Structure 1
Amino acid sequence: MSALEAVRSRQSWSKVDDTAPTREQLLTFVAAAGRVADHSSLRPWRLIELRGADREVLGAAIAKAEGDKSPSAKPLRAPLLIAVVASYRKSDKVPRWEQEAVASGVAHMLSLLLDEAGWGVLWRTGHYTRTKAVAKAHGLGPNEELLGWLYVGAKPARRKPGRRKAVDARKLVTRMPSKTEQVETKAKKKKK
């Protein structure tokens, strides 16, 4: 399968079976995903592998963050969760937003690689990703933020992936405005 075909066929899998890639398989995918564009090669990211009881610890942390008495069952929806952490580095050349973009790029690339290898993947986020209880459960440092988790498991044979709307690239790719268009836009703004 070509990279184009893999990207075009990618789907989110909200329900997966109880099998996951091994640690060695995961490390192979992470080594490849880490090749994303990374200004100054800062590697401003890290991943945390959650399996088994780790998911229950996360469920308790989410419950604490939400003020719930019972642990959240969300982390139990997949056998492997991969926490995506932006791990910011000091840099005069690479701003914080760009470092977060690199961490996001690694997560997206990893999700594509896992999907192409036959695994079901869903990137989950939520307001509790930035809470103290969840950060503490993950052992985050002062210069780190949790961006979310990749939920990974076997694609159920009995279920087909959902259909995604096609992207109309013509509506999303534009050209740089001409000098005339820039002058006209500026004149319209002055009139307001």
Structure 2
Amino acid sequence: MSALDAVRARQSWSKVEDTAPTREELLPLVSAAGRVADHSSLRPWRLIELRGTDREALGAAIAKAQGDASPSSKPLRAPLLIAVVASYRKSDKVPRWEQEAVASGVAHTLSLLLDEAGWGVIWRTGHYTRAKAVAKAHGLDKNEELLGWLYVGAKPAGRKPGRRKPVDARKLLTRMPKPGAKKGKKKAKQDEAPEGR
């Protein structure tokens, strides 16, 4: 399968079975995902595996963050959660937002690789990703932020993944406006302009 085919086939799986890739199976995928564009090669990210009772600890932390009496059952929706952490580095050249983009790129690339390897994956977030109780449960440092979790498990037999609308690339890939052009007026003509104008 080509990279283009793998990307086109990717879907989010909100429900998965209770089987997950082993750590040994994950390591080469994480290594490959770490090849994303990374200005100055800072590697401003890390991943945390949550399996078994780790997920229950996360459920308790989410409950604490939300002021709930009972632990959240959300982390139990998949046998493996991979916490995506932006681990910011001091840099005069690479701003914080760019480092977060690298961490996001790693997460997305890893989700593609897991999907292509046959696993069901969905990237879940929530307002509690920035909660102190959740950060503490993950052992985050002061220079780190949680960007969410990849929920990973076996794709259920006979089930279809969530639907995604097709992407209309013509609306999203535009051209640089000509100097002095009014916004929106000649958009269609600019979009269709030949290379080099």
Superposition TM-score, scaled by structure 1 size = 0.94
Shift, 1:160, TM fit: 1.4
Q: Does 1:28 align with 2:59?
A: no
Q: Report the secondary structure of 1:55's partner residue.
A: helix
Partner of 2:53: 53
Q: Label 1:183 to 1:148 Cα distance change in 2 as closer, same or farther (>3 A).
A: closer
Report matched runs for 1:84-95 at 5 Å: 84-95=84-95
Q: Report the secondary structure of 1:151's partner residue.
A: strand
The answer to whether the 8 A contact 2:122-2:150 is kept is yes
Report matched runs for 1:76-115 at 5 Å: 76-115=76-115
Partner of 2:4: 4
The answer to whether the 8 A contact 2:14-2:162 is kept is no
Measure the CA separation in 2 of the matches of 1:30 and 1:118.
15
Measure the CA separation in 1 of the matches of 2:63 and 2:107.
25
Higher helix share: 1
Please, which runs of 5 or more residues in structure 1 have no aligned partner?
Answer: 186-192
Shift, 1:143, TM fit: 0.1
Shift, 1:6, TM fit: 0.5
The answer to whether the 8 A contact 2:45-2:86 is kept is yes
Superposition TM-score, scaled by structure 2 size = 0.91
Q: Does 1:152 align with 2:158?
A: no
Partner of 2:131: 131
Matched letter for residue 111 of structure 1: S
Measure the CA separation in 2 of the matches of 1:99 and 1:120.
27
Matched letter for residue 85 of structure 2: V
Q: Report the secondary structure of 1:181's partner residue.
A: coil
* 1:135-188 deviations in Å (ceiling 9; x for gaps): 000000000000000000000012112331110000011100112316999xxx
Q: Label 1:115 to 1:184 Cα distance change in 2 as closer, same or farther (>3 A).
A: closer
Q: Label 1:184 to 1:156 Cα distance change in 2 as closer, same or farther (>3 A).
A: closer
Please, which runs of 5 or more residues in structure 2 have no aligned partner?
Answer: 186-197
Measure the CA separation in 1 of the matches of 2:22 and 2:114.
12
* 1:110-131 deviations in Å (ceiling 9; x for gaps): 0000000000000000000000
